Amino acid sequence: MLRLTKLISISIMPDFLREVEKVAKEENRTKSELVREALRRYIADREWEKLTRYAREKAAETGIKTEEDIQQSF
């Protein structure tokens, strides 16, 4: 049978692992589900930060400093 997921291994401190296991149990999820969601959120946050940084740079280049400046540019 073809496996659609890949197995990886990570190192984690025992105290943190206990916390992960506790949260997984409380949410009735597997540790894998919890880690997958954490990684999805990390990647989404990272993309948002890149977009925000780009927007700040473009705003600075065009002299936009406030929301009012944005409204006036349209």
pTM for the whole structure: 0.73
Q: Is residue 50 part of a domain?
A: yes
Residue 33 near residue 24 (C-beta atoms within 8 A): yes
What is the C-alpha to C-alpha distance for residues 45 and 51, in angstroms, rounded to an integer?
A: 10
Q: Is residue 53 part of a domain?
A: yes
Q: Is residue 33 part of a domain?
A: yes
Q: Is residue 9 part of a domain?
A: no
Q: Is residue 45 part of a domain?
A: yes
Model confidence over 12-28: pLDDT tens digits?
999 999 999 999 999 99
Report how many domains make up the chain: 1
Q: Is the pLDDT of residue 60 over 80?
A: yes
Q: Is the pLDDT of residue 3 over 90?
A: no
Q: Is residue 32 part of a domain?
A: yes
Range of the domain at 41: 27-61
Average pLDDT of the residues of the chain: 91
Query: What are the angstrom distances between the C-alpha of 15 and each of 9, 30, 33?
Result: 17, 18, 19
Q: Is residue 6 part of a domain?
A: no
